[in-house]
Structure 1
């Protein structure tokens, strides 16, 4: 079994806007800079043969360059927030790309994703934190925006089977421009 997901990588100039935010909530587990990403499709823990089928299905996805922009801060969990995130400005090219990832996952035999796609960059996992502290943090750092960046590829990552999963490992980039693996 291998835990896989597809995502967009975050360039350094955008990450530089996120890193300074990562303080001020007691008990938050801040995501490490190398693990910043925008998930397109979480495949979960899947058998090696399904992982191979998924990787192959991803090869068929065309990627035309488009802009992505982070804006706003929020949380998942409501009265018991568990994730702090930076939002991604909605765009038709991003929605289409994510839909193609869902189709590739289904062609590979993966179960359909039941949650609506809410593009975001996770800043922290929140375990047992004070709800008021989370909302105070969001208010104090709003409005939030980062420079737009161009997407011309997506990445297949593997993760450890623990909560939070990092550090993530780049398994493959699509399209394959002959990328050198990063250490």
Structure 2
């Protein structure tokens, strides 16, 4: 059974900038560059009918295109760090998109994500890293940023059971509109119940 989540893709230039942050931290397992993304909503393991219902419901999202940049770095797990991430610039459009996706998931009675939405790109997962080493690593890279990039769609990604960090498969893509009034959504791939 695939594990689903809704995400924003990271363009190549920004991903290459983040790839230069890899290394220099003992106990880090770095995420492959092609698997960088910003999770909007973790769905988890669902059956095929529920996945199809979600795919169809997300087709109703009508939001404008916007721009983002990646800025700063941090870690999750203060006393026992478990991941390193790049931050995302503040964006009302991003928050509004995520909130609409969350409302759709709640209407479908999907299990809520207990974590507060904190937009980020996971760069590496940590095992046995010392807090002091993580602090040193982050402070040496605290001025990280990318140029702004356009966000013109969001996607549903799937992953198979693994240690984490991919590989991910794009199951469906939903364009954001270049302006209002919104245009009908056009999918990059068609949905079918036998796919999952």
Q: Give the Å deviation of 1:134.
A: 0.9
TM (norm. structure 2) is: 0.87
Q: Show the counterpart of 1:149.
A: 149
Return the alpha-carbon distance in structure 2 between the equivalents of residues 13 and 75 of structure 1: 23
In structure 1, the residue matched to 2:53 is 53
Secondary structure in structure 2 of the residue aligned to 1:113? coil
- Is 2:31–2:165's contact at 8 Å kept on the other side of the alignment? no
Any residues of structure 2 matched to 1:110-129 within 5 Å, and which?
110-129=110-129
- How far off its partner does 1:166 sit? 0.7
2:20 partner SS = helix
Distance in 1 (alpha carbons) for counterparts of 2:108 and 2:47: 11
The total of aligned residue pairs comes to 181
Unmatched runs of 5 consecutive residues or more in structure 2: 176-184, 190-196
| Contact 2:35 2:165 survives alignment (8 Å) | no
- Larger displacement relative to structure 2 (35-44 or 57-66): 57-66
Partners of 2:172 and 2:187 within 8 A in 1? no
Once the two structures are TM-superposed, the CA of residue 178 in structure 1 deviates from its matched residue by 5.8
Unpaired stretches in structure 1, ≥5 consecutive residues:
none
Partner Cα distance (1:81, 1:160) in 2? 25
- Cα distance, 1:113 vs structure 2: 2.5
**Native 8 Å contact 2:174 2:187 kept in 1:** no
Q: Secondary structure at the match of 2:158?
A: strand
Two-structure CA RMSD over aligned residues (Å): 1.6
Match of 2:14 in 1: 14
Larger radius of gyration: 2
Residues 119/58 of structure 1: CA separation in 2 closer, same or farther (3 Å cut): same
Is residue 70 from structure 1 mapped to residue 70 from structure 2 by the alignment? yes
CA contact (8 A) 2:156 2:172 kept: yes
2:95 matched residue in structure 1: 95
Q: Deviations over 1:118-165 (max 9, x none)?
A: 000000001221211111010011111111111110010001223315
